[in-house]
Structure 1
Amino acid sequence: MNHAHVFFETSILEDWLKEDIGYLDLTSTLLHIGNQSARITWRTRGATVSACTEEVVRLLHTRQVSAIEHLPSGQHANDGQALVTAEGPAQALLDVWKVGQNLLEYACSVATRTHQLVETVKHLNPNVGILTTRKHPPGLRRIAIKSTMAGGAWPHRLGLSETILVFPQHRALLAENGWAVVKEKLKLNANGLAEKKVVIEAATLEEALLAVDAGADVIQFDKVAPAHLQEWCATLRQQFPALKLLAAGGITTDNAANYANCGVDGLVTSSLYYGPPADISVVVERL
């Protein structure tokens, strides 16, 4: 597990509350219960991996709640175990109730799916890493990164400015001799980026060999069957021992075991972001 200290601006957290609260909590105002002292507890129904509990704590802090306990991200939680518990004015707790629950249900489900996939692959080949993409709905990147890292994966690519990754879509915008132009441009322009690896996507062994000739440090195979990868990786390892190899496209918990021993260094997936939410109960008590 990786306890990722992902940066969330306070304004982001406040926007989550602003979206849900609007102007006021009409129900609690009508019932005159906002000033009571209360306790709130978010518990998991079923075993899960905790994620983004620190952000729930910070949401409570924005409402001036200070008496808070939480299970850190990346920890295993048993059925019925408390993820976050807080005491304070009832209205402050109610303001965070649903936003916190929604956050935990998504984040913990992603962390749990990630952990399951990581453990499956690690059992078969501990040298293969699990890498997660940026293919999630806009606005979820920080939550997605923190949740997958809590489950034991690493981010593949945080954004366009972080890595050099040449896709077929880039080559399509070059001249007809695209591979030659890629080689020329990388040689001419990438010298000043000596600390950056050049990743090039390929769909065949022939494309992989052209990518290596163009200057690739890493080949990312897209939607290639494990049987083909096993053959191609063996060929590339023999010719280019320092070359790194990745498998991407359509990799899920169901088929990851088939890729674990095909010769790649890492599996790139976006499937972990999607699935049933974790079941998180919320109990509010009067003190």
Structure 2
Amino acid sequence: MLHRSAVEAVIRAGLAEDAPWGDLTSDLAIPAVAQATATLTSRESGVLCGEEVIRTGFAVADPALQVTLHVADGDPLEPGTAVATVSGPARPLLTAERTVLNLVQRMSGIATTTARYVAAVEAAVAEVERANKLPAGTITRTRVCDTRKTTPGLRVLEKYAVTCGGGHNHRFGLSDAVMLKDNHLAVLTAGGASLPRAMRELRRSMPHTACMEVEVDRLDQIEDVLAGGADVVMLDNFSRADLISGVAMIDGRAAVEASGGITLETIGSVAATGVDVISVGALTHSVRSLDLGLDIAVA
């Protein structure tokens, strides 16, 4: 769910950045009474994300601008698909155009990329079912998740875009869960301190609603992490063979997450190892914005 207040804060910051003292071109070249109608159109195939950005972006620029949406978040787009129509005063329409487009194009790019990763996982799991002559749906689908590798200030939009592509969100931020990564473990175990004991001490201070995830990068770390009571074990940069071994070692005692350098080409084989979650930083840090255009109808 994307709340208008969060979107409005991003839009206002974007407009303040783009037109801090007004839109010099539109203010001078466009008559104050001029009206216009523009259509937001997809120029390539993908998945839409950004309904609320379109609505809020133009409303913040001028409440007199009227927005009609023709597709919804998560809907597929093809070249030429009309996404929305915007009508009203021409000056604020032109002023808000780039801020709205930049955000919606990026969000749609994230949703499109995520949908491709999700499809690759579903295909790999379905193949395992076929190979083992299992009914479709027998194997729980591995979740494709994002990470905290997001654009500062845009995390709420980018994580929402992942869900529009069929993915799931990892923790939103540092306040949401205990997640012990390699640097945390290096400090905790300095001087030969026992990791299981340190984890159990930590558990006593945690809110009862929080979970504990621990990152490991070797198979021989797993038993200590389980002994410490980890809810989730992240297998970071494991080979496929070690992922299979790690899943077998954990054997349902904790949820298993795979992470580290996972690509669209490799995610299917990772999913087939039986991990519960695959986190992919590339969903937000390496996407290409979807090509959308806003064109004013010429009378």
Q: TM-score, normalised by structure 1?
A: 0.91
Aligned-pair CA distance for 1:46: 1.5
Partner in structure 2 of residue 234 of structure 1? 248
Question: CA separation in 1, counterparts of 2:75 and 2:32?
Answer: 33
Aligned-pair CA distance for 1:190: 2.1
Aligned-pair CA distance for 1:226: 1.4
**Identity score, percent:** 24
Partner in structure 2 of residue 97 of structure 1? 97
Partner in structure 1 of residue 272 of structure 2? 261
Task: Please give the per-residue CA displacement for 1:96-121, whole angstroms capped at 9, x wherever unaligned.
Answer: 11111111221111110000110110
Letter in 1 for 2:221: E
Residues 215-234 of structure 1 mapped to structure 2, 5 A cutoff: 215-234=229-248
Letter in 2 for 1:67: Q
Tell me, yes or no, if structure 1 residue 160 matches structure 2 residue 174.
yes
Aligned-pair CA distance for 1:279: 1.0
Task: Please give the per-residue CA displacement for 1:232-284, whole angstroms capped at 9, x wherever unaligned.
Answer: 212321xxx33210100101212111201112101011111213221111101
Question: CA separation in 2, counterparts of 1:5 and 1:47?
Answer: 23
Task: Please give the per-residue CA displacement for 1:29-70, whole angstroms capped at 9, x wherever unaligned.
Answer: 332334211112211111111111211210111111342112
Question: Does the 8 Å CA contact 1:246/1:266 hold for their aligned counterparts?
Answer: yes
Partner in structure 2 of residue 69 of structure 1? 68
SS of 2:27's equivalent? Answer: helix
Deviates more, 1:202-211 or 1:32-41: 32-41
Tell me, yes or no, if structure 1 residue 48 matches structure 2 residue 63.
no
Question: Does the 8 Å CA contact 2:65/2:93 hold for their aligned counterparts?
Answer: no
Question: CA separation in 2, counterparts of 1:199 and 1:32?
Answer: 56
Aligned-pair CA distance for 1:82: 1.7
Deviates more, 1:183-192 or 1:154-163: 183-192
Partner in structure 2 of residue 197 of structure 1? 211
Q: 1:12 aligns with which of 10, 21, 24?
A: 10
Deviates more, 1:43-52 or 1:4-13: 4-13
Question: CA separation in 1, counterparts of 2:196 and 2:245?
Answer: 26
Question: Does the 8 Å CA contact 1:164/1:196 hold for their aligned counterparts?
Answer: yes
Residues 87-126 of structure 1 mapped to structure 2, 5 A cutoff: 87-125=87-125
Question: CA separation in 2, counterparts of 1:188 and 1:227?
Answer: 33
Q: 2:58 aligns with which of 54, 60, 63?
A: 60
SS of 2:297's equivalent? Answer: strand
Deviates more, 1:86-95 or 1:169-178: 169-178
Partner in structure 2 of residue 130 of structure 1? 144
Partner in structure 2 of residue 214 of structure 1? 228
* Alignment size in residue pairs: 279
Task: Please give the per-residue CA displacement for 1:176-198, whole angstroms capped at 9, x wherever unaligned.
Answer: 224x1x43343234235222221
Question: Does the 8 Å CA contact 2:145/2:278 hold for their aligned counterparts?
Answer: yes
Aligned-pair CA distance for 1:286: 5.1
Q: TM-score, normalised by structure 2?
A: 0.87
Question: CA separation in 2, counterparts of 1:101 and 1:10?
Answer: 15
SS of 1:154's equivalent? Answer: coil
SS of 2:256's equivalent? Answer: strand
Give the direction of change, closer, same or farther, for the CA distance of 1:183–1:228 in structure 2 (3 Å limit). closer
Question: CA separation in 1, counterparts of 2:218 and 2:259?
Answer: 13
Question: CA separation in 2, counterparts of 1:33 and 1:49?
Answer: 36
Partner in structure 2 of residue 79 of structure 1? 79
Letter in 1 for 2:197: E
Stretches of structure 2 lacking an aligned partner (at least 5 in a row): 126-139
Question: CA separation in 2, counterparts of 1:11 and 1:278?
Answer: 23
CA RMSD of aligned residues (A): 1.8
Question: CA separation in 1, counterparts of 2:191 and 2:172?
Answer: 31
Partner in structure 2 of residue 173 of structure 1? 187
Task: Please give the per-residue CA displacement for 1:132-167, whole angstroms capped at 9, x wherever unaligned.
Answer: 001123222112111111101111121111011111
Aligned-pair CA distance for 1:9: 5.2
Question: Does the 8 Å CA contact 2:10/2:153 hold for their aligned counterparts?
Answer: no
Give the direction of change, closer, same or farther, for the CA distance of 1:221–1:186 in structure 2 (3 Å limit). same
Deviates more, 1:103-112 or 1:26-35: 26-35
Task: Please give the per-residue CA displacement for 1:212-231, whole angstroms capped at 9, x wherever unaligned.
Answer: 11111111011111121112
Deviates more, 1:109-118 or 1:95-104: 95-104
SS of 2:103's equivalent? Answer: helix
Partner in structure 2 of residue 140 of structure 1? 154
Give the direction of change, closer, same or farther, for the CA distance of 1:32–1:186 in structure 2 (3 Å limit). same
Aligned-pair CA distance for 1:208: 1.1
